[in-house]
Amino acid sequence: MALVEINFDGIIGPSHNYSGLSLGNLAATKNAGKVAYPRAAALQGLAKMRHNLSLGLTQGFLLPLPRPHAAFLADMAVSADADPALAAMAWSASSMWTANAATVSPAPDTADGRCHLSVANLVTMPHRSIEWPDTLAQLRLAFADEKHFAVHGPVPATFGDEGAANHMRMGPSHGETCAEIFVYGRQHYGEGGTRFPARQHEQASRAIARRHGLAEENTIFAEQSPAAIEAGAFHNDVVSVANENVLFTHEQAFADREGTYAAIRQKVPGAEIVEVPASAVTLEDAIASYLFNAQLLTLPGGTMALVVPSECMALAPVAKWLDDMVRGNGPIRRVLPVDVRQSMANGGGPACLRLRVVADPAKVDSRFLLNDTRIDSIAGIVEKHWPESIAPDQIGRADLAETVQNARQILLEALNLKELG
């Protein structure tokens, strides 16, 4: 098989709004109550996908989920306009951040030689906990070839799982056997404890490693630094990103920094760790700019590039570090800024918007893969049917609900994916 890394980006849905539902996500809570711009948000996301296509990379997508979530409101025994907080949960477009859709173990790593995907339960945040059934339906459609893929339901809700945002893979190349790194959090109480929840449970990570059939000698479990969680790194991908043999990470990403690095070096021959010291970029600046919530990619010619949010270039310490890094002789040779400001204002950068799947594109349902014609078609639908803006007091309104539902249905029909309606 011709295995390549495919980035499946979430198309930002027509109900995109700023309700500040995600405790510990500082950008989301800071911008709660502001007017959101779904059309601009979706076009920015599509521009990022188009940018990756122009680099010669394989690009896929996942669809917005049905919103408002009528079944959730029915289960809570409220109408859409009866409780603003519950209505906001039912309207959330947070599935756009497909890094949380699932954890993916490519075929070279697994016991049965299939690519395994486990949908994330996302139970820590109520508005995200309702996503997984619809996400699972998409994954089972996109990766329906059971000879090459195994798509699993969520681990038990007792153990919170946030998907690939807390999972990395390192090795000589995407198509070879790699080490898989699972990063979990622990809640710390009392003096020096954290205000924010640790979203990834260690037992969820271990269960996924077992069900995916990963070899113990190629698996690492590392605790996320409580300091990082407290600073607003609600997922590991806010402070670390890996690609092939390179780990790009903040000095304060892991609870046991030296132990984690030693495990990586022992299990990944030739590993290169590019560490950004706190003296150069503080945790606060790293999180404000989403320096590490970047796409670290291998371009077709073999050069490694970092796709960063444009906010990185506006924060002097971060911009300086990136400039110095490129001028040096390290493994990351290019920095490519992209504009995803609408997503950033809700707490998700370039890495949040994509799920990495190493697979043969010919074995994936082609309806979920992008080309220039398809992305033009999607952009045209967004420009015509996505709401231009959504203010907080519009959430729950019947006329807006109809607009949002119709927009998604038009997209499904255009993409011949009506079975997800």
Predicted confidence band of residue 376 (pLDDT cuts 50, 70, 90) = very high
Q: Does 332 have pLDDT greater than 90?
A: yes
pLDDT at 405: 98
Q: Does 347 have pLDDT greater than 80?
A: yes
Q: Does 80 have pLDDT greater than 80?
A: no
pLDDT at 193: 62
pLDDT at 29: 83
Give the strand pairing for 4-10 and 58-62.
parallel
Q: What is the pLDDT of residues 83-139, one digit of tens each?
A: 888 999 999 999 999 999 999 999 999 999 999 999 999 999 999 999 999 999 999
Q: Does 49 have pLDDT greater than 90?
A: yes
Residue 235 falls in the annotated catalytic set: yes
And the tokens for 200? 């990834």
Helix (H) / strand (E) containing 339: none
CA 163/CA 117 separation, integer angstroms? 10
Q: Which residue(s) pair with 117 in the sheet?
A: 104, 151
Q: Does 189 have pLDDT greater than 80?
A: no
pLDDT at 30: 86
**φ, ψ at 93 (rounded to 5°):** -100, 25
Q: What is the pLDDT of residues 363-372, one digit of tens each?
A: 999 999 999 9
SS3 of residue 4 by DSSP: strand
pLDDT at 79: 77
Residue 65: closest CA among 96, 34, 99, 39: 96
Residue 115 falls in the annotated catalytic set: no
Q: What is the pLDDT of residues 34-44, one digit of tens each?
A: 999 999 999 99
CA 332/CA 222 separation, integer angstroms? 24
pLDDT at 131: 98
String of b and e for 212-229 (b: at least 16 CB within 10 Å)?
bebeeebbbebbbbbbbb
pLDDT at 187: 80
Of 5, 131, 162, 251, the catalytic one is: 162
**φ, ψ at 395 (rounded to 5°):** -60, 125
Average pLDDT, the chain: 95
Question: What's this model's pTM, rounded to 2 decimal places?
Answer: 0.96
Query: What mean pLDDT comes out for the span 61-73?
Result: 96
Predicted confidence band of residue 190 (pLDDT cuts 50, 70, 90) = low
SS3 of residue 157 by DSSP: coil
Which CA distances in Å does 398 have to 221, 230, 394?
47, 39, 9
CA 306/CA 308 separation, integer angstroms? 6
Query: What mean pLDDT comes out for the span 60-66?
Result: 98
Give the strand pairing for 102-105 and 115-119.
antiparallel
Q: Does 396 have pLDDT greater than 80?
A: yes
Q: Domains in the chain, please, with CATH? A: 4-420 (3.75.10.20)
Of 178, 235, 311, 312, the catalytic one is: 235
The 8-class DSSP code of residue 12 comes to P
The 8-class DSSP code of residue 379 comes to H
pLDDT at 192: 60
pLDDT at 25: 80
Are the C-beta atoms of residues 227 and 185 closer than 8 Å to each other?
no
Q: What percent of the chain has pLDDT over 70?
A: 98
Q: Does 355 have pLDDT greater than 80?
A: yes
The 8-class DSSP code of residue 11 comes to P
